[in-house]
Amino acid sequence: MTGVEPVDEGRGADAPRPSPRPVLGNYGSPLGILVKLVALALLNAIVLWGLTVMADAGEWAFLVFSALALLVIDWVYLSRRRIPGKYLVPGTLFLLVFAVYPVLYTVFISTTNYGTGNNLSQEQAIQQIERQSISATDEATRYSLQILARGNPGGDLAFLLTDPDGERFLGTADELVPLADADVVADGRRETIDGFVPLNAGQAQDRVAEIRSFVVPGPEGEIDNDGFGAAFTKLQRYVYDAATGTMVDTVNDVVLVADGGYFVDDDGRRLLPGWRTNVGLSNYEALLTDPALRGNFIRVFVWTVVFAAASVFFSFSLGLLLALVFNNPTMRGRQLYRSLIIIPYALPSFMTALVWRGMFNQSFGVINRWLDVSLPWLSGQWLPYVSILIVNTWLGYVYMFLVSSGALQSIPDELTEAAKVDGATGPMRFRRITLPLLLVSISPLLIASFAFNFNNFNLIYLLTEGRPSIPGSDAGRTDILITYTYKVAFEQGARADYGFASALAVVIFLIVAAISAVSFRYTKQLEEIR
Amino acid sequence: MRAHRRLLAVAVSFALVGAACGSDDDSTTTPATDPAADTTEAPVEEAPEEEAPEEEAPEEEAPEEEAPEEEEYVPPARGDADLVIWADDTRTPVLAPIAAAFSEEEGVEVVVLEVPFDNIRTSLNTAAPVGEGPDIIIGAHDWLGELVSNGVVLPVDLGATADLYSDVAIEAFSFDGATYGLPYAVENIALIRNTDLVPEAPATFEELEEIALGLVADGTVDIPLAIQQAPGDPFHNYPLFTGAGGYVFGQNPDGSYDPTDLGIDSPGGLEAAEKFGEWAASGLLNSDIDYGVMTSSFGEGRAPFAITGPWALGEFSDVNFVVEPVPSVNGGTPQVFVGVQGFMISSFSENPELATTFLLDFLNSEELQLELFEAGGRPPAMTSAFEQVADDPIIQGFGLAGQQGAPLPAIPEMGAVWGAWTDAYEQVFAGADPTATFEGAAASIRSSIGG
């Protein structure tokens, strides 16, 4: 949308009206309009195609949202007014899709019991319980099976059964007939009897619906196929009673009722699998009321705040110190030093964290070897905290150095010189003039850095995994909230609890949002001072 | 300037990632790649290392293996095939021709898709219920607790087929009275002894301790016994724990585990815990040894003994060694955890009959068991196939150790055990009172099993 007016004048010749503005908006060149139309057309085509996919998948909420978003985009961009909308709409849509939706979805998950054992919908769980409870009866004879069809592969089905003793039977829908060995003839790799053709797995698969309902009456009950190569009498232990919403154990004659995402019997034993269900606010309740969890949460929270604040403090202090040093124009070789200082920033932090972990190893790490001591850098009571802060300062000071260097250069020399003339000493000039002016521009970055470190999963996870452990607690000494959440959600092996982890994530989100909001208000006040 | 520096950073990170692939833990490289590219990248990344995540029998005890980005792994789409099999990179090439033979002979379409081993488990949980999952997976038996709880695997009636396999393999794939898969390989850890440093097998663990500490004292070696801990490893410590009198869960007569009988704080368990305290104090065990230190120290002849599995042998090519069972500890027989791998059927398979047929009529063959052994080096679970390869002394050594073993518990309660038990070892190695620590760990395990 640049260079609008002069080009418009050129188009004015074709326009019947005196107004120089073209009909489609003040975009100017025909090329600009063309690009806009092609882009919009492409977007419309892609989204419309996407809508058909979503309709197929039954994702109605996404479909409605996408359709509305498309209408809004078309409405805004096909007009020559609504200029603010043209700037705001894309950002707003991305905000909705990539920020608001994940937050709302996390909130939704936090009100469910989603996790191991509660992975399916209730309908699926009922289906699986019934299906998985089908097994051979205790006394069932396990026949090996060849599926036959009378005359041709589409003819009436029959089972050629061989029991473990080698006795042969022909099973039809009506009866089970013993066969003499002579009746059975080979047909390639398979066996059959006169008048029938054997079905291979592909042919059987084509008629699988018929085969599923085909059973042979036998002495122990109906003989049913298991796969296409075996058959025996089956029993379904659990049957769902839709009228009462209960599951009936037909073997022991016990009724199990649905409770909290499981079918449970009178003794509270749960039938697996369970299903996902709404549990209201009980995940939050557990967080607030369970003494073990609450103790963990408070301890982890305190360390998280200390870790984030101390990381910002130390890295900013070191970065600023270096920036002040390198800001001195009389220093020689500044460019070289500056390039070297960038190194921690240029290395990927997950690699450096692992390297530091190796260096801190108590028995085999270089640090203890150089210092000729045996300090438990990552396993002692207090040293792990120190180690983490050392590493994070090392990782973070470069960024602080860069932004401080920039900000220092924007402070006018006259101010410090005037202070000098007034007789202020060096430290005084720094404290009264340089630092306040610096903080005005850097405070938002410090807050952002705090928020980032608050959720600095990579460092903690790669350096200590939250260890050392504390007896009787599932959160380690150096766990921060986000690593504790991860442990709860994914690391407890057979009992991952996504619902509770989501509740923790929501709480973390609220804390970070609150801290950020308050801090930004505070920095606004700082700006007004200026 | 800025763009330039970015480029440099990217170049350096790639160089380092390349270097890291040669070191102990390749899966940590995952975060380096664009998560969106995971679909294509991940299978390749898992490929080259001996210590691919699948080798870690207890998945829970190896947290590094699961960078958070892995949650974004998207399994390959299943397409229109009648049967889809998920297998990892070492087994896909073996299964593909078998699948092709089945397809041709039976007139169906069977497709083998390559999925990184640990993603098979996680992706099955999410993909199966929405109809995107496979029909058959390759997996480890200790996933069963999770997979059965989530209702994503189907029981398989093995019938007389079960007699073809070793008891421990069938026991391992049994869960709550039903069999959930067809086993194909059995693997376990054993004692690896450097024959140049220690020519004679020690008769007891006490003798081993004396020899090992003696070799450290006279400066011949750095590490007496290379067992990966970092910071405490219940899986690799299990033979010592059981030899000294402990057990994890009591076993029912049919071999299944009884979650109400936790043995970590049983009298024998506490006695074993005290032993671990002594071993830590004498320097025999060291909390700082990780997989990398274990392989490098034994592989360079700086450790006379190691306790590890077949997956680490590739690192030991420069030393002469033998594989044998861990000698009796304090008079007790050491038991190792046995991990069993096999094929399972997804309960959301649309063609379960075809899947069952493929499993029992095609995969259930000695020939295939031997082919999979050639490809992966894991001893076959089928008894007749195992006998054909058992004259190899290494296979024999692991086999002997495995005969004294017990299947790694697959019950969901085991999920509550790994973390707390690891923590307990960590605390004992750091000098905490062993009895109190193990009692505390057992209490917290019981409370999380109960609740």
SS (H, E, C) chain B: CHHHHHHHHHHHHHHHHHHHHCCCCHHHHHHHCCHHHHHHHHHHHHCCCCCCHHHCCCHHHCHHHCCHHHHHCCCCCCCCCCEEEEECCCCHHHHHHHHHHHHHHHCCCEEEEECCHHHHHHHHHHHHHHCCCCCEEEEEHHHHHHHHHCCCEECCCCHHHHHHECHHHHHHCEECCEECCEEEEEEECEEEEECCCCCCCCCEHHHHHHHHHHHHHCCCCCCCEECCCCCCCHHHHHHHHHHCCCCCEEECCCCCEEEEEECCCCHHHHHHHHHHHHHHHHCCCCCCCCHHHHHHHHHCCCCCEEEECHHHHHHHCCCCEEEECCCEECCECCCCEEEEEEEEEECCCCCHHHHHHHHHHHHCCHHHHHHHHHHHCCCECEHHHHHHHCCCHHHHHHHHHHHCCEECCCCCCHHHHHHHHHHHHHHHHCCCCHHHHHHHHHHHHHHHHHC
- Residue A116 inside a domain? The answer is no
> Which of the listed CATH numbers 3.60.40.10, 3.30.465.10, 3.40.190.10, 3.40.50.150 matches domain B190-335+411-450?
3.40.190.10
Query: pLDDT-derived band of residue B62, with 50, 70 and 90 as boundaries?
Result: very low
- Per CB-CB distance under 8 Å, the chain B contacts of A474 are 419-420, 444
More confident residue, B252 or B75: B252
Q: Do A200 and B106 touch (CB under 8 A)?
A: yes
By residue range, what is the domain housing residue A309?
288-529
Q: What is the pLDDT of residue A61?
A: 85
What would the pLDDT profile of A252-266 be if each residue is shown by its tens digit?
A: 889 999 988 899 988
Cα A227 to the center of its chain, rounded Å: 37
Q: Are residues A58 and A174 in the same domain?
A: no
Q: Looking at chain B, which residues constitute the CATH 3.40.190.10 domain(s)?
A: 83-186+339-407, 190-335+411-450
Q: Are residues A231 and A302 in the same domain?
A: no
Q: What is the pLDDT of residue B198?
A: 94
Mutation pick from A139, A146, A226, A488 vs chain B, by most beta carbons of B within 10 Å, is A226
Query: If you measure CA to CA, which chain A residue comes closest to B431?
Result: A380
Q: What is the pLDDT of residue B72?
A: 56
Q: Choose among A119, A135, A142: nearest Cβ to B155.
A: A135
- Residue A128 inside a domain? The answer is no
CA distance A135 to chain B (A): 8
> Which of the listed CATH numbers 3.40.190.10, 3.10.20.90, 3.30.420.40, 3.30.300.30 matches domain B83-186+339-407?
3.40.190.10
Q: Choose among A202, A226, A467: nearest Cβ to B356.
A: A226
Percent of chain B at pLDDT > 90 equals 47
Q: Check pLDDT > 50 for residue B55.
A: no
- Per CB-CB distance under 8 Å, the chain A contacts of B108 are 201-202, 205
Q: Do A472 and B28 touch (CB under 8 A)?
A: no
Q: Do A119 and B102 touch (CB under 8 A)?
A: no
- Residue A509 inside a domain? The answer is yes
Q: A357: domain CATH number? A: 1.10.3720.10
Q: Are residues A459 and A355 in the same domain?
A: yes
- Residue A71 inside a domain? The answer is yes
Mutation pick from A135, A157, A224, A228 vs chain B, by most beta carbons of B within 10 Å, is A228
Q: Are residues A215 and A334 in the same domain?
A: no
CA distance B279 to chain A (A): 16
- Residue A446 inside a domain? The answer is yes
**pLDDT-wise least confident of A1-10, B77-86, B106-115, B386-395:** A1-10
Q: Check pLDDT > 90 for residue B201.
A: yes
Q: What is the pLDDT of residue A125?
A: 93
Q: What is the pLDDT of residue B161?
A: 87
Q: What is the pLDDT of residue B39?
A: 35
Q: How far apart are CA A454 and CA B83, in angstroms?
A: 47
Asked whether this complex has an ipTM greater than 0.85, the answer is no
More confident residue, A488 or B165: B165
Q: Are residues A298 and A414 in the same domain?
A: yes
- Residue A117 inside a domain? The answer is no
- Residue A280 inside a domain? The answer is no
Q: A103: domain CATH number? A: 1.20.58.370
Pick the most confident of A150-164, B199-213, B378-392. Answer: B199-213
Residue finishing a domain among A199, A214, A236: A236
Q: What is the pLDDT of residue A28?
A: 62
Query: If you measure CA to CA, which chain A residue comes closest to B15?
Result: A347
Q: What is the pLDDT of residue B343?
A: 95
CA distance A129 to chain B (A): 8
What would the pLDDT profile of A462-480 be if each residue is shown by its tens digit?
A: 999 888 888 877 788 999 9
Q: What is the pLDDT of residue B78?
A: 66
- Residue A14 inside a domain? The answer is no
Cα torsion angle, A299, A304, A305, A311, sign = positive
Q: What is the pLDDT of residue B156?
A: 92
Query: pLDDT-derived band of residue B77, with 50, 70 and 90 as boundaries?
Result: low
pLDDT tens per residue, chain A (530 residues)? Answer: 343 344 444 444 444 444 444 444 455 678 888 888 899 999 999 999 999 998 888 888 888 988 999 999 888 888 877 788 888 888 899 898 888 999 999 999 999 999 888 889 999 999 999 988 898 888 888 999 999 999 888 889 999 999 988 899 999 999 999 998 888 888 878 888 888 999 988 899 989 999 999 999 988 889 999 989 899 999 999 999 999 989 999 988 899 999 888 999 888 888 889 999 998 898 898 888 877 777 888 899 999 999 999 999 999 999 999 998 888 778 788 888 888 888 888 888 888 888 999 999 888 889 998 998 888 888 888 999 999 999 999 999 999 999 998 898 888 888 888 888 888 888 888 888 888 888 888 888 898 899 899 989 999 999 998 888 888 777 889 999 999 888 877 766 446 788 988 998 898 889 888 888 888 787 777 666 55
Mean pLDDT estimate for chain B: 81
Q: Do B31 and A202 touch (CB under 8 A)?
A: no
CA distance B347 to chain A (A): 7
Total of domains in chain A: 3
